[in-house]
Amino acid sequence: MGALLQEVCTRAEALHIPLSIHLDLTYRCNERCVHCYLDHDDHGELSREEVFQLLDDLAEAGTLILTLSGGEPLLRPDFFAIAKRARSLRFSLKVKTNGILIGPSQAALLRDYGVHQVQMSIYSHRAEVHDGITKIRGSLARSVAAIRLLRAYGVNVAIATPLMAQNFADYPGVRALAAEMGVAVTIDPTITPKIDGDTSILRHRISTQDLQSVFRDSSLVGDVQNFSACTPVDDDVLASYPCSAGHTFCYISPYGDVFPCVQFPLPCGNIRRQSWRSIWVDSPELQRVRSIQLGDLPTCSSCVHASGCSRCPGLAYMEGNMYGPSSADCEKSLARTGVVPKAWQPNRSADLIQISLENCGR
């Protein structure tokens, strides 16, 4: 993060400005990804007029970065009208799409509106793996064709690759494909429960041993020894906030529900029943989230991983306690350092034993 953007974020946090908003326009989708956390039925999406009013309110509140996503946002016939309105309000606009509905006319509009970035999920460079995850035959070919088309129109594109059991071995191939197309790629081993709390999709998470191999890949993490080190916990760390959720960032569903983050489904209000400002400023739930510092967490604050853990308060909330540990992040800390976290409750004891033995031999 550049120094100027860091200063903007610091000031926004101090003033509780919603600097960045993730807005899902629909949960409907033309793919059926095995790990997706959404319900794809339409339960009464915000109308175009309601979205326009929300965009006006966000602009007035100081929002700079707006992400339009879904589901598949281009399934809404008014998507480009919404995108045009967002750009007229000077948002830095990001769009998350699978690209299946993008042709020359759509690519031209994304370019002409000055969309900052289009992000697509590519699960593998192999069609049988990618299409197996999306459950749509030919989806890899169509998404890659959309990326190439967008690049030809001068649109900035990024690839996101969630790692799971089905595609764990394929991330080098995805990175090679991204390099060939001239686009950035991020690799993320996080698979979250469904937004309604259903944990069945967590079976797609990669194993602790596979996490360990990812964290030892210097092409991903840089200096492996430095990356895997435990850093000291000091007063500044204990006084820090877990993440930007509820501070400078929040998530809004297609039905107007407001949450601290898409991975933090704590209901904080609904823009159909309250004004955006009253939710953002006065919501007791958001105020509670904003009050939590690392030092307030009874278990995590005294863990050896406290300063380097990627603990997600939303995942902890979905496990029953936003003040508690997130088992997925405990697992990441174990895989990263080989040191057992304070809150570790192993569900995969064979992985734990193997990693602990390897750590003893280092």
Digit-coded pLDDT (tens) for 156-208: 999 999 999 999 999 999 999 999 999 999 999 999 888 888 889 999 999 98
pLDDT mean across residues, the chain: 90
Strand order in the sheet with 117-121: 184-188, 157-162, 117-121, 92-96, 65-69, 20-24, 249-252, 257-259, 269-270
- Tell me the mean pLDDT in the region 251-270: 96
How far is C-alpha 61 from the chain's CA centre?
23
- Stretch 243-262: mean pLDDT: 95
Give residue 338's pLDDT: 86
Conformation bin of residue 291: beta by default, left when phi > 0, alpha when psi is -120 to 50:
alpha
Report the chain's C-alpha Rg in angstroms: 21
Task: Flag whether pLDDT at 353 surpasses 80.
Answer: no
Length of the chain: 362
244: left (phi over 0), alpha (psi -120 to 50) or beta: alpha
Report the pLDDT averaged over residues 258-272: 96
Q: In this predicted model, which residue has the larger pLDDT, 21 or 194?
A: 21
Predicted TM-score (pTM) of this structure: 0.91
pLDDT at 345: 63
pLDDT number for residue 102 = 98
Taking a C-beta distance cutoff of 8 angstroms, is the pair 68, 25 a contact? yes
What number of helices (H) and strands (E) belong to the chain? 16, 9
Looking at residue 285, its amino acid is: E
* pLDDT for residue 45 is more than 80: yes
Return the pLDDT at 101.
98
Query: Could you give the dihedral angle defined by the CA atoms of residues 325, 14, 246 and 73, in that order, rounded to the nearest 10 degrees?
Result: -130
